[in-house]
Chain A
Amino acid sequence: MDKVIPPKELIEKWKREDEEAREIRRRMANWDFINKQPPRIRAALLYFIERGDRYVAAQIAGLTVDEFNEIRIKANIPVVV
């Protein structure tokens, strides 16, 4: 099956959006809280800060999306949408 490829302009626009969102998450995150977490949770929070993907972050943490979301809120990392 053929891939459906997005146009270049959209990819550029998305790149800018990703950078902006990442910056907001980094700025607002409670780094003290994050650094005190067990390795798996810390890795998941760091991944979320970089990529903003709750589903994969939850998989890294070994939690459901719902459970990961509670930790995200405690870590003061916003969902940028």
Chain B
Amino acid sequence: MIGVIDTCFLIDWSRFRRREILEKLFNVLLIHEEVLRQIRSESAIGYVSELFTKGVLRLYPWSNMDEKEFIILRSQVSSNSRIPSLERPDLLCLIIAYNSDAVLLSENVGIHRVVQYHPRYSHVEVWIALDVIEQSVYKGLIKVDSEEDFLSIVKEYELDTHHSFRKNKVRSAIERVREWLMR
């Protein structure tokens, strides 16, 4: 499976005590050099360097065609007050995910909103960390025997990264994990 990783996801995920599961879940993670330039903290730099060394993280070769696509997308989605400002790096990640048939790892609210209505990008899968944790359970990368086990891992992430997942998203994930455990 191919993933595209954005700045905030990378920064947050690098703080997670179980961060090694990401490289087991994805064969390749693509990153744009403009995303990479945003990384400064010790934990994130260390993590990025580790992923590059292992060959999991790769720089995406941005092309003129991609740039044209960016200009079109930017003009289509800008100036909507309910879409949090979508900056260039956010849109680049969406375009990379679309063109690489990859899962986009992003917690950017604006990106999650664009894929809810934009006809071209609506099939792009955008995962938040909660989705990565859930998928890691199904792939056997995280062992859970109960809903409580799953919830405690979600709490670990919230604690390590200072996140608060929306209750309805956590509830839905718990229901799916419960069904999976009963199989």
Contacts and interface: CB of A to CB of B under 8 A. Distances in A.
Q: Does A associate with B in a complex?
A: yes
Contacts of A17: 109, 166
A39 B162 CA distance: 24
Give the secondary structure class of A's interface.
Answer: helix
A52 B84 contact: yes
B116 interface: yes
A36 interface: no
Interface string A1-25: 1111111001100110110110010
Contacts, number: 106
A64 interface: yes
A31 interface: no
Interface string A61-81: 000111101101100111111
Contact of B166 (A2, A28, A81): A81
Kindly state the interface size class of chain A when it binds its partner: 35 or more
B80 A6 contact: yes
Given A14-B82, A81-B107, A54 B113 contact: no
Given A72-B162, A79-B107, A80-B166, A53 B85 contact: yes
Contact of A10 (B11, B87, B117, B161): B117
B75 A65 contact: no
A81 B113 contact: no
Contacts of A78: 158, 162-164
A26 interface: no
B119 A81 contact: no
Nearest to B81: A11
B182 interface: no
Contact of B109 (A3, A28, A66, A81): A81
A79 B161 CA distance: 9
Nearest to B72: A1
Query: Which 8 pairs between the two chains have the least Cβ-Cβ distance?
Result: A78-B164, A6-B117, A66-B40, A81-B107, A4-B76, A1-B75, A53-B84, A14-B82
